[in-house]
Structure 1
Amino acid sequence: MECASCDAGIDHCHGTLVVHPEGGFTECTDAACVDADRVRHGLIVDCQALGAGCGCAAAPGKTLVRQAS
């Protein structure tokens, strides 16, 4: 299976963008992601929708893998 966006040369990311409502931070599940812009991501989820949940509200000052405002 090939990615249509890759074939077309469209700037995009294969990771999932995780949105944290506390502080408006976002992070991508793809460690190679260079831009956490929503436009580049086909999959976007709220951190509270993650299976294990997210402790971002309980962990002020938590350092995220990828951040964007």
Structure 2
Amino acid sequence: MDCASCDAGIDHCHGTLVVHPEGGFAECTEPACADGDRVRHALIVDCRGVGGGCGCADSSRKPLVRQAS
């Protein structure tokens, strides 16, 4: 299956953007993603909806995916 955005040359990401309202940051599940802009992501979730919960309120836990800059 082809990606219409890839075929059209549109800047986008295939990962899911995980938004952390408590920490004020977002991170992407795609390791190669360097831009956490919402416009580039078709899939955006609140960290509280991630299976197993999120540790952003617990500073002793590290995120499972890297933080986008």
- Letter of the structure 2 residue corresponding to residue 67 of structure 1: A
RMSD of aligned alpha carbons: 1.9
For 1:14-57, what per-residue CA distance to the aligned partner results, in whole angstroms no more than 9, with x for missing partners? 00000001121100000000211000000000000011110111
Misfit runs of 4+, over 2 Å = none
- Letter of the structure 2 residue corresponding to residue 58 of structure 1: D
In structure 2, runs of 5+ residues without a counterpart are: none
Counterpart check, 1:21 vs 2:31: no
Q: Tell me the residue number matched to 2:66.
A: 65
Distance across 2 between alignment mates of 1:45 and 1:53:
12
- Identity fraction in percent: 70
Query: Aligned residue pairs: how many?
Result: 68
In structure 1, runs of 5+ residues without a counterpart are: none
- Letter of the structure 2 residue corresponding to residue 66 of structure 1: Q
Q: TM-score, normalised by structure 2?
A: 0.87
SS of structure 2 residue aligned to 1:5: helix
